[in-house]
Amino acid sequence: MGSANDTERRPVPTWNSPFEGLVLILRGYTLRTAAAVSAVVGTLLSGVNQGSVLISGHVNAAVWIRIAINYVVPFFVSSIGYLAPSRRRRAKR
């Protein structure tokens, strides 16, 4: 029996197509894991790639878009990795 601090995770349903995988991501099945990975990796990438611009104060919309992408890409990559074991392969005809 778990403690009150334990969180229950939903089992990940099987999926077949990229669309089904995207639906699972949007429904939050990967949120906890992917958000943690995205926070760490995105912060590191932003520091390495945009750190000098941030420190100089010459930040514009393009820089903020690049920073956002530094978080979005690791989120989706880790989500795909999280969902990969539950992928259902189509039977060959």
Q: Read off the pLDDT of residues 33-59 as tens digits, 9 standing for 90 and up.
A: 999 999 999 999 999 999 999 999 999
Strand partners, 15: 87
Strand partners, 87: 15
Average pLDDT, the chain: 90
Helix 18-26 and helix 61-83: axis angle, to 10°? Answer: 110
- Distance in angstroms (rounded) separating the CA atoms of residues 78 and 30: 8
User: Is pLDDT of 87 > 80?
Assistant: yes
User: Is pLDDT of 10 > 80?
Assistant: no
Beta-carbon count within 10 A of 9 CB: 9
Q: Read off the pLDDT of residues 19-38 as tens digits, 9 standing for 90 and up.
A: 999 999 999 999 999 999 99
pTM value surpassing 0.85: no
Percentage with pLDDT > 70 across the chain: 88
DSSP per residue over 68-91, as a string? HHHHHHHHHHHHHHHHGGGBPPPP
At 15, is the secondary structure helix, strand, or coil? strand
User: Is pLDDT of 1 > 50?
Assistant: no
